[in-house]
Amino acid sequence: MERLTSGGDAAATRRAHIVAVIAQPEDLTTPRLRGLAGVADALEVRADLVGDPDPHRLRRHFTGPVTYSLRTPRHGGRSAAGPVERRTRLLRAADHYDVVDLEAVDDLVPELLAGIPARQRRVSWHQPEPAGPERSAVRVADALEASAELRERFAAMATTPALLYLLVPQSGTQYGSASPLLLTGLGRSDVTAFASGPAGTWTRVLAPWLGAPLAFGRAGAPGADGMPSVGQLLTDYGLPALPPLSALFGIAGRAPGRSLSPRLHNAALRELQLPALYLPFQVDTFPRFWHWANGFGALARLPLRGLTVTAPHKQSAVEVADVVGPQALRCGAANVLWLDAGRWRAATTDTAAALHILARAGVDPSGRRAAVIGCGSTGQAVALALLQAGARVTLVNRGHARGREASSRLGAPYVPLSRFSPAGHAVLVHATPLAERQPFPVAAVDPDAAVLEMVYRDPPTALMSATRARGLIGIDGWEVLLVEVSEQFQLLTGHPFPGALPLRSLCFSRVECADVHGLTEPGESPPPQSPMQPTSGEAP
């Protein structure tokens, strides 16, 4: 196994400037503004979303520089101001704000340039939503071509002198895929570029390491455009510090922004001073992503060294690997991929994690009846672990096709969920994203049974609440998360997860000025929103 070596002297660590974006009225409250002081270096007021607040009030609570942005629909904003009103508001803002955002090309007119000096200008370009389906860059040649086109666009913007420049393409386009490469090629300290949308969150996080001077975070909850909260920038990615970086890891899934894996993995990387970053990759088609990710790593000189993989991509993880572990091969699904001596290996940590957690709770499944509710990749991996431990396993699923397929693959009987009774089972494993209601009646569970749930939520799920109310052994997804992260980290990096890190505290850590982002199960599709999940919001 390849071990990632230390990044060297931490004293050489650079720093990024964090900009807290005011994007909703709640962000203008006194507690929120005071909370941002000492956490963010600067503010940006999205006037198209919150109107024109009193700038003197802002400065009473926040002493750093403040940017005024009146984003138009063409640039992804919501301002309905006509040309005259827009120019009036921008010129008025120049009297009270440190920086005024000017949209290329429409705002670069003599009247505005005369009234807003270069030292106060931020020239920005936000790519409009594509009119039809577009595909992101996959081939190295595509990425290089898109990067060259972005450089040409920046060169046109740079003919207007300004303090800062900002380029934000859509994540589903070739420009979105190539936006980080623009930074590596320019070598300037006044340009920030990243992709918009949830699939572009990783580009926002990575941009400061590639030379961008700023990292933008919502003052409140994360945004629908993929912008993380200020709290996420600090707790999940360790910003504003920019320690040495030579490799990338990440989580590939449908909604990785809701996962706690980046927070836990990055905390471990920092603790061990390993020069790597763990990023959230929102993936629709895994083979396309896989081809692109390896090409990008080569171009950016930041090789991808490993991934944790969530549904529905676990089968694809097996297909792209050079070497597949026996449990993953039996289940036909893997949740971790890592590079080892030039070959990609795939494995599932669900099997070992399930047995480890049960043993820690004093539960021995050998010779006992067990039921696994949910026949997705996670459920099959846990069922396999129980079978190998000597349990008599019954598979339970709502959809008959998947249930029968899992039964055939594992050689265990299948019962439709509509006909399932938990009575008589010593171990019950819940491996679906269902959280709002009990997947089976807890009242019918034997008093000496143990319930293991793979989903993690706060507050606890309906199943776990009912289990504990009855005084049964209830093991929730938080235990699963902590065990699996430790297993996966060692496979990815070659290093044991640092025991000094307080994992539970990290899971529930807070940053006073920011709302905490969401949680999801480590192996399946994200559940519906809970109080700790991101709320839908206006795109900043």
- Does 15-239 carry CATH code 3.20.20.70? yes
> What residue has token string 């265990």?
412
- Burial class of 468 by CB neighbour count within 10 A (0 to 12, 13 to 18, 19+): middle
Residues 6+ apart with CB under 8 A from 170: 127, 128, 129, 130, 134, 176, 195, 196, 197, 200
Q: What is the reported pTM?
A: 0.89
pLDDT value at residue 17: 96
Give the span between the Cα atoms of 511 and 220, in whole angstroms: 11
> What residue has token string 């190998």?
388
Can you give the residue ranges of every domain in the chain?
15-239, 351-475
Given this chain, do its domains 15-239 and 351-475 carry the same CATH topology? Answer: no
pLDDT value at residue 237: 96
Angle, CA 449 vertex, CA 443 and CA 454 arms, to 5°: 90
- Domain 351-475 sits in CATH at 3.40.50.720
Q: What is the pLDDT along the chain (540 residues), one digit of tens a residue?
A: 467 776 655 445 689 999 999 999 999 999 999 999 889 999 999 999 999 999 999 999 999 999 999 999 999 999 999 999 999 999 999 999 999 999 998 999 999 999 999 999 999 999 887 654 445 555 556 667 778 888 999 999 999 999 999 999 988 776 777 788 788 778 889 999 999 988 999 999 999 999 999 999 999 988 888 999 999 999 999 999 999 999 999 999 998 887 899 999 999 999 999 999 999 999 999 998 998 888 888 888 899 999 999 989 999 999 999 999 999 999 999 999 999 999 999 999 999 999 999 999 999 999 999 999 999 999 999 999 999 999 999 999 999 999 999 999 999 999 999 999 999 999 999 999 888 899 999 999 999 999 999 988 878 899 999 999 999 999 988 888 889 999 999 999 999 999 888 877 787 754 332 222 222 333 333 333 332 232 222 222
pLDDT value at residue 11: 46
DSSP-assigned states of every residue in 203-258: HHHHGGGGT-SEEEEESSSPPTTSPPBHHHHHHTT-TTEE----EEEEEEESSGGG
Residues 6+ apart with CB under 8 A from 172: 130, 134, 135, 136, 197, 199
